[in-house]
Amino acid sequence: MSLPSGARLGPYEVLSPLGAGGMGEVYRARDTKLGREVALKVLPEAFVSDPERLARLEREARLLASLNHPNIATLYAFENMDGVRFLVMEVVEGQTLGERLSEGPLPVRDALDFFRQVADGLAAAHRKGVVHRDLKPGNLKIAPGGLAKILDFGLATTIAPAGAGDVTSSPTASVHHTATGVIQGTAPYMAPEQAKGKPADERSDVFAFGVTLYEALTGKRAFAGDSVTEVLAAVLEREPDLAALPPGTPDLVRFLLRRSLKKNPDDRLRDMAEAKAVLGEALNPGVGSSAPMPASTAAPRGRTLWRLALGLGALALVAVGVVSGRSFWKRSGTASLGPVRRFQIDHKTGGAPQISPDGKHIVYVESGNLRIRDLDRLESREVSGGETASNPFWSPDGRFVAFFARGFLKKVPIEGGTAKTVCELKPSGTVLGAAWSRLGPIVLALGPALGLYEVSSEGGELRLLLKPDPAKGIFDFHTPSFLPDGRSLLLVVHPQTGRQLYLAAFDGREVRRLLPESSPPVGSSTYSESGYVLFNHLEGLAPLYAVPFDASKLAVTGEPVRVAEDAGDPSVSADGVLVYRTGSNSFNDLVLADRSGRIGRTISPGHGTVGYLHVSPDGRRVMLTEEKDGNLDVWVEDIERGSRVRLTTRPETDIAGAWSSSGERVAIMSGIYTDSGVVLMRADGSGEAEKLPFRSTSLPEGSYVSPDWSPDGRFVIYRSGGDLWYGDVAGKGAPVAFANSPFTESDGRFSPDGRYVAYMSNESGRFEVYVRPFPEGDRKWTLSTNGGGAPRWSRRGDELFYLEGSAVMSVALSTRDGFHSSPPRKLFDAAAAGLTVSPFGPTQGAYDPMPDGQGFVLMRRTSTGEKKVVVVENWAEELKRRP
């Protein structure tokens, strides 16, 4: 059927025809719901009337719609509207490769760059089990800017009518496209196994890739003939004439073609990822595209490529020690990478953006969800499985993003797929940074005062790599990043007192300070393969510096040079793309919100990092922990007037705890790094602090975190060493274990009547909220159903709140006749409302209910200015131009 301009199929308005053929008619249309242009591929009547083929296409369409790659034309939907079956696809502007080749072959460098992109797209599809089966010049489009787009992925042989026999363009297809003995594909581009009627797999795409690359370079078909029979005979019996390749074809590309066009699938190039690597190597500066490469410079650098070269016997052993011109530049700085380019993109979240190793993608967290921004696209995309994510970082090959969620380290392929758990965070702590080595391991910095841990990227248990050393003034490690050897680490070290962090390196034996002690504190750092370490002074938005660095000697070789102003969280790719966030400093406002998350009023603005909010029993004050002057201290704020009292001033980390039932005194955890313990003091800051005598040789080592005070004033419950303990305030007897297990228990909270304690534990494999009788009892009730933490009782004891990621949840309770609880229900998503909460990390427990249970005190993130991410290509070139 044909559709006139202006015709409507549901929300799609036809604009103009784009083409027609055996696969049906194609129209440019406008999606009136989403406000974008799309391509509608209306299926032929003969196809629609075949239920088996239609069902197969529906299955394939669902799989193909999951492919999200810049080099694959996106399939948005498979629709049935007004009796018309059609596919909704991305509109790709530009010529097909077939149209371009009618004008002659591509220049060698253009062809290699184009097919490197094609290989990238095919590799991504193959990893998800999708085979194209009909790769040819007509199914490759040259989009504006030279971007390669693969069209009709997996659809051509599914949709095309059986019996079509055009030698050059029409697929020869059948209803049973996977059945042995049925020929499928387009004759000049099909693999020998396809020509024999055998099923196609990834190796068939490798063959078609080689045939199409050959044609792009020579302007001639690798296998020609006047009929389908002659063409198929050539595919089965003849070898392509590699002498027809232009003189400027690199030897690596000739090698690639020979391996891709092997008749036996088992003898072919292993996969498209290797084809991408070979073409990338051929395009590297110093390899040259206008003259044949000498044998001494033709060796691939990677182990995979060298193994391929050995298999062919094409390269000399001496080539193993040769480095490319680009690698030489990284050490000497004598050559140019290209012009410096910089631009900005919007950044709605305050999280640190991370550039991929190949400089093509940025990953970040927005509203608790993992998102990727492809630099060649205007919009970002959400990564499936990346919910409740934090602290994302890249695998060395850029194929995976690792992140943390609900007490676990996970990884997910960026093309889509299931997020897999790498390990549980045992010990459970705040994640202070992580890095993935090219040799395989992942290193995590955990705090407070826990150290560096190592785990295989394939999964396993965390292993302690480097303990803090109090004797040397080392209490925490932050933002580790691997150096080129894959073993040594760049670190930011947190010393004994305050927040005077400094830059250091770790070679597996010792920690070396890299900058003088007189240097300002360092916020975050990263290593650049151009031979520099990039780092911030202080944290947040501050000047960004680069200092020359010899990675082989782990030594700074020059003075720091300022790169940018007001830059935060630098990240740099292997090929010299630098990203950092700028444009705004983030603060927190202390606010009142109702049970739907709607903000009523601001209590006080402009706070720093805040956590552990605790509202006084009368609802007039709130105790909180805030980072101020480089320290974490405890403050009390008047809710009505916004006036403040500072309770602690030590150069240590102090954490807010609980109020006495009268509201006159508070219990806090003091000195998380050194002489830690529970301290009682007056809420107005007057008088002397009283340190509780909770020391006991029976207690494991660790910090006294999250104290809570029983309503009768007799006991304080707290976490130490991953377990919950309680002690008598009057010092009667030794502390008693309340929840002592191989798992991590934390955040114990007394019920208003003192009969129960709510707490969080990861005994089930993730953190959930539990309630147990106090002081003893063998009963236990699980209140959360999908992970949870930071439990808080209502003042009447008939409701308990907790956090599920950034969602504030509520459970109704009854204790009149035993303990009974309702299923949890969601009150509101704090992140969606612009509020900052988390059951873990520096903003842990940044919420607390008001006494009447009708509202909450929370933190709202605010910014001074518009948030942006700055992207700088070839950033180090600018340093070379300076006097």
Q: Which of 134, 251, 589, 848 is catalytic?
A: 134
Nearest to 289 by CA among 242, 254, 330, 327: 254
Enter the tokens of residue 749: 């909270």
Compute the distance between CA of residue 277 and CA of residue 281 in angstroms, rounded to an integer: 6
765 within 8 A of 752, measured Cβ to Cβ: no
Cβ atoms within 10 A of the Cβ of 727, count? Answer: 24
Compute the distance between CA of residue 237 and CA of residue 229 in angstroms, rounded to an integer: 12
Nearest to 559 by CA among 548, 575, 573, 570: 548
Cβ atoms within 10 A of the Cβ of 341, count? Answer: 12
Q: In the block, which residue shows the tokens 């150290």?
A: 451
- Cα dist. 531→223, 281, 353, 425, 454 in Å? 48, 21, 22, 33, 26
Compute the distance between CA of residue 222 and CA of residue 219 in angstroms, rounded to an integer: 9
Enter the tokens of residue 331: 């050490």
- β-strands 768-773, 756-761 pairing: antiparallel
Enter the tokens of residue 135: 């790769």
Answer yes or no: 848 catalytic: no
Compute the distance between CA of residue 428 and CA of residue 453 in angstroms, rounded to an integer: 12
> What is 113-153 written as a DSSP string?
HHHHHHHHHHHHHHHTT---S---GGGEEEEGGGEEEE-ST
Cβ atoms within 10 A of the Cβ of 183, count? Answer: 19
Dihedral angle, C-alpha 529, 530, 531, 533, nearest 10 °? -70
Dihedral angle, C-alpha 538, 542, 548, 554, nearest 10 °? 30
Enter the tokens of residue 87: 């596919």
Residue length, the chain? 883
Q: In the block, which residue shows the tokens 């504006």?
A: 144
H-helix or E-strand spanning residue 431: strand 430-436
Q: Which amino acid is at 785?
A: T
Nearest to 535 by CA among 583, 484, 572: 572
3-state secondary structure 318-340: HHHHCCCHHHHHHHHCCCCCCCC
Compute the distance between CA of residue 161 and CA of residue 174 in angstroms, rounded to an integer: 7
Enter the tokens of residue 729: 């305030």
Helices (H), 219-355: 228-237, 251-260, 272-283, 303-312, 325-332
Compute the distance between CA of residue 309 and CA of residue 423 in angstroms, rounded to an integer: 37
30 within 8 A of 36, measured Cβ to Cβ: yes
> What is 530-568 written as a DSSP string?
TTEEEEEESSSSEEEEEEEEETTTTEE-S--EEEEEEEE
Nearest to 478 by CA among 447, 442, 508: 447
Burial of 285 (0-12, 13-18, 19+ CB in 10 A): middle
Enter the tokens of residue 353: 């953006």
Compute the distance between CA of residue 235 and CA of residue 534 in angstroms, rounded to an integer: 54
Compute the distance between CA of residue 489 and CA of residue 444 in angstroms, rounded to an integer: 11
- Cα dist. 370→202, 258, 342, 382, 433 in Å? 30, 41, 25, 6, 16
Residues noted as catalytic: 134
